Structure 1
Amino acid sequence: MQKIEKRNMQVQIGETVVEAWRVDAEDTQLEEWVQNLFDKQICFWHPKNPDQLRFNMMFGGMASTGDYLIYMGKSDIKVISEKKFKKEYRIL
């Protein structure tokens, strides 16, 4: 089982290398692509549940603390559970 320490990282799934971020409301050193999501109001912390990350209507959905955002490209973002992340992704 791989140990996960970093919140911002490059990961590999198959032959593809992508960026990943472990969702954490206390993370203050965000990678540029994650900060960009907040700056463009694509995602935001739920005002009544600070452990829940919400996405604007264009993207829809939500993520919880411990989930992972996978950045596949300009507007291709996936939410992956920690269990699926550990099973399918390899940290570089």
Structure 2
Amino acid sequence: MGMSTLTDRQADEKLEAAPDVPWQTVVWDDPVNLMSYVVRVFRQYFGFSQELATKRMLQVHHDGHAVVAEGAREQMELHAQAMHDYGLWATVRKAPQ
């Protein structure tokens, strides 16, 4: 058994031992969608206020990405799929500790 396999298994066990580690849905910048459309998607799907939706859109625009949701992995994957359905680029990641 190689050392990396052991390390991977330990990492998996650590994750399972800490199921409360939150996950995030991250929306990434793309050259296609208008800023106004991204704001509309965030308002419609997440129920963000105009102010919050605009703030997140500007993060995407200026920083290249923004965290739009945090919680259980399954829910974050549903959010990412919904963003794909709207034509946005989104991924799911473990929240930084």
When normalised by structure 2's length, the TM-score is 0.25
Give the number of the structure whose residues are more often strand, by fraction. Answer: 1
Larger Rg: 2
| Greater length-normalized contact order (CA 8 Å, ≥ 6 residues apart) | 2
